[in-house]
Chains A and B, each alone.
Chain A
Amino acid sequence: MEYWKDENEPIKAFVKLFEAAMVDDELTGGLKKVNQLILFDYTENGPNCSFWVDCRNGELKVGPGKPAEEPDMTMSLSADDAHRSWSNKLNPVMAITRKKIRVKGSATGLLKLAPKLKKVAAIYVTVLKDLGWEDKILA
């Protein structure tokens, strides 16, 4: 991996990112509208390199690893591309076209989710700073 020293680092950053999003009412409200259980699967970089976001039934939960239930949608990519994506350095449409991102499950969910993820990404730099990982911030 180019940006991470092990498989735990990206999950720590991304779970923290969603935890930070949860204190923002606007972001929380937007994510709840997606109403899906989503698995972010980076397991090509390690068996535990994944996390999930559950925004079903008016709640918003996030956790490392795989969810206990079958996800409505799975987005599979590398942890490095995930870092680029959260840093707004990866065009997600192009990444899907070139199979860097593989999406399984609800297309409707994906379209509901995409605009919300862009808003979540806006606080990614702050999260990296909070973790003391300024060196990971992409210029």
Chain B
Amino acid sequence: MNGNTGKIINVDLDKGSIETEILPEEYYTKYIGGSGLAAKLFWERGNISADPLSPEAMLIFMNGPFAGLRLSGASRNSVAGRSPLTGNWGDSSCGGYFAPELRYAGYDGIIIKGKAGKPSIMLIEDEKINILPAPEYWGKGTDEANRAIKEKYGKNYRTLIIGPAGENLVKYAIILNEGHHAFGRAGFGAVMGSKNLKAIVVKASGKNMKLADPEKYEELRAELNPKIKEALASDVMRENGTAANLEGGVVSGDVPIKNFTSNYWEEMGQELNGGILTEKYLTKRRACAYCSIACKRVVEVKEGPYAIPEGPGPEYETITALGSLIGSMDLAAVCKAGRVCNDLGIDTISAGGTIAWAMEAFERGDITEKDTGGIKLLWGDMATVIDKILPEIAARKGSLGMLLAEGSLSAAVKTEKDTINYTVQSKGLEVPMHDPRGGGHGLALAYAVSPRGACHVASPMLFMEMGACFYPEIGFEYELEPMTDENKAETAVIAVALGAIENSACFCQFADREIAIPEWVGLFNSVAGYNWDAPDMMKAGTRVFYLKRLINYLFGRTAKDDALTPRILEPARDGEPEGVVINFEGMKNKFYELMGMDPVKGIPSRKKLEEYGMGVEAKKVWRET
């Protein structure tokens, strides 16, 4: 096989068995890799009725075809399976350094089932793969565990580690690579914790890779890496990180404030933006493997109540989720809150979303100090967030920790009051930090139809609406007006396919904006030898999207679940988008029609599935016709 290794590791922690397996090439040509290939394997082998935190649940890590090939943004990795937070299909992408090392060791992915008898780690050294008891790391924060593992095995051993939140099955626990890069969303840290698996550690001795056309690939790589590096957007993010344009986002109404109750807070934009982070706290810029953008931040807060030593710094989502969303514009506090989340192993987006919901509920009197164990939940009270709320969530300690560890939707249900209306989520996943009312109405559609729930990286809709890309070769050559529904359904059809390609190829959305469609096709063909043209590639992307929809259907999700909670669809109360209404149902209905999806079941028609070479899958969901 070219490009991919074709080989995965199957681990059964119940039996203590470890086997390697060669996958059929057709799996790759149809589902690419990453979250697409993971979906294919889950569809075939997953136990649909299994609780995501039970031993039967599958935890899948999967590389894309470009892992380790020294191309900017192309060495990410996906984790996938059933999300414990949402109960739906879940996947999450992570940059960092794990994917290349796994690839160099000879594997495209890992499938883990079962539960180890005691806290363990998985150690991969080329062909030598072991599950090792490792109770000494259990209970430790990600930073301490990462340092201890590297001290024991070597600093070049690459790590995936969960924190106390994962051990305690917090539903939005993360998995962290090198203590800095997160599989942030959908709670796979809890799945790892449920398997008594504290860490996965990998070290390769070689870099043998077989490409279909190495010369052509090198030619493309030599063109693309400088193109990505020199792009204005890359320059901006290298300089000031992913929060570089936060102030601009505030002006357009894209940045959520106080649980999405406001779309404008000028001072906050001036205090929390990436330029201020650079000026006040940045000590180093860092990059994921082989990436020339270097958007990662290393920060130090030298003094004050939120002093932290030099270490991983927050990116845009964290700055907003643990800043404006919970009513704070204290950047030092945000840096510390982000660091605490990393160490405890908590997703900053879902944490921010859940805490913001709780703060609003407290303000409204829907939850009281009786529910919170005496803790007052006040907008912008960062000391309480950092010292009490986050630790209690990670430990599932006290009534507040128990309530919020389940995520905003479950917490709202538990209140037995009408609080779901002001959770801000889709399919149970908290909405990321771009408000469609100001960021672009198409984003509302993209959030709602995303298989894993509200997700800003399931498709490049945000970039397409803002005008940061255009793809004439696949029909996206028109300009969009963000604040209308015009052409949004048509654009979403392209966007979901592109997003599926990105997440299956495990590409970074910041880097690949600079890659034109013919270059995308050239990459796949030169690396894996698919002999694709642009329609073939787009078809593979749409197929991946369809498959994830089918998996969700088996979980009981239908068209009615492609929804957003009322808060995000009510007209904005202030700022640029004040009073504007999103025509959500109109966009959704049109999207369904264009995608050939059943308006009740929410899945593609039998005919559409057959058109995409998914006749076998169609039989499973369209048995009655």
Contact = CB atoms under 8 A, between A and B. Distances in A.
A15 interface: no
Could you tell me the dominant secondary structure of chain A's interface residues?
helix
Interface in A78-97: 91, 93-97
Contact of B479 (A91, A108, A112): A91
B466 A93 contact: yes
A114 B248 contact: yes
A110 interface: yes
B275 A96 contact: no
A105 to B, nearest CB: 10
B328 interface: no
Contacts of B244: 107-108, 111
A12 to B, nearest CB: 27
B236 A96 contact: no
A5 interface: no
B245 interface: yes
A112 B269 contact: no
Contacts of B240: 107-108, 111
Given A91-B479, A94-B479, A111 B236 contact: yes
A46 interface: no
Contacts of B274: 111
B233 to A, nearest CB: 9
B235 interface: yes
B22 interface: no
Contact of A94 (B232, B239, B250, B467): B467
A103 B239 CA distance: 15
Interface in B453-506: 466-470, 479
Contact of B236 (A33, A107, A115): A107
B247 interface: yes
Could you tell me the dominant secondary structure of chain B's interface residues?
helix
Interface in B278-324: 278
Contacts of A115: 247-248, 250-251, 269
A118 interface: yes
B365 to A, nearest CB: 37
B470 A111 contact: no
Contacts of B275: 108, 111-112
A95 B466 CA distance: 10
Contact of B468 (A93, A114, A119): A93
B251 A96 contact: no
Contacts of A119: 251
Which of A94, A98, A103, A115 gathers the greatest number of chain B CB atoms within 10 Å?
A115
Q: How big is the B interface, by class?
A: 20 to 34
Contact of A118 (B236, B245, B251, B469): B251
B469 A108 contact: no
B183 to A, nearest CB: 29
Contacts of B251: 115, 118-119
B470 A110 contact: no
Contact of B470 (A97, A103, A107, A112): A97
A139 to B, nearest CB: 15
A121 to B, nearest CB: 11
A103 to B, nearest CB: 6
Interface in B182-235: 232, 235
Given A94-B470, A97-B469, A103 B232 contact: yes
Given A91-B467, A93-B467, A107 B232 contact: yes
A111 B468 contact: no
A112 B236 CA distance: 11
A94 B236 CA distance: 16
Contacts of A111: 236, 240, 244-245, 247-248, 273-275
Contacts of B467: 91, 93-95, 97
A31 to B, nearest CB: 13
Contacts of B479: 91, 94
A91 to B, nearest CB: 4
Contact of A97 (B248, B269, B468): B468
A91 B67 CA distance: 35
A11 B274 CA distance: 33
A97 B468 CA distance: 6
Contacts of A94: 466-468, 470, 479
Contacts of A93: 466-468
A115 B266 CA distance: 10
A68 B278 CA distance: 30
A33 to B, nearest CB: 8
A134 B470 CA distance: 34
B476 to A, nearest CB: 12
B516 to A, nearest CB: 12
A58 to B, nearest CB: 17
B324 to A, nearest CB: 15
B463 to A, nearest CB: 9
A114 B246 CA distance: 11
Which of B232, B240, B273, B470 gathers the greatest number of chain A CB atoms within 10 Å?
B232
Contacts of B235: 107
Nearest to A112: B275
B245 to A, nearest CB: 6
A114 B468 CA distance: 15
Contacts of B270: 33
Contacts of B232: 96, 103, 107, 110
A93 B468 CA distance: 6
Interface in A38-87: none
Contacts of A97: 467-470
Which of A95, A98, A108 gathers the greatest number of chain B CB atoms within 10 Å?
A108
A38 to B, nearest CB: 16
Contacts of B278: 108
Contacts of A110: 232, 236
B609 to A, nearest CB: 35
Contacts of B236: 107-108, 110-111
Contacts of A98: 470
Nearest to A106: B239
A98 B239 CA distance: 22
Q: Which 5 A-B pairs have the closest CB atoms?
A: A94-B467, A93-B467, A107-B236, A115-B251, A107-B235
Given A98-B470, A108-B236, 14 more contacts: A93-B468, A94-B468, A94-B470, A97-B469, A97-B470, A107-B232, A111-B248, A111-B273, A112-B247, A114-B248, A115-B247, A115-B248, A115-B269, A119-B251
Interface of B: 232, 235-236, 239-240, 244-245, 247-248, 250-251, 269-270, 273-275, 278, 466-470, 479
9 contacts: A91-B466, A94-B467, A94-B470, A97-B467, A107-B235, A107-B239, A111-B244, A114-B248, A119-B251
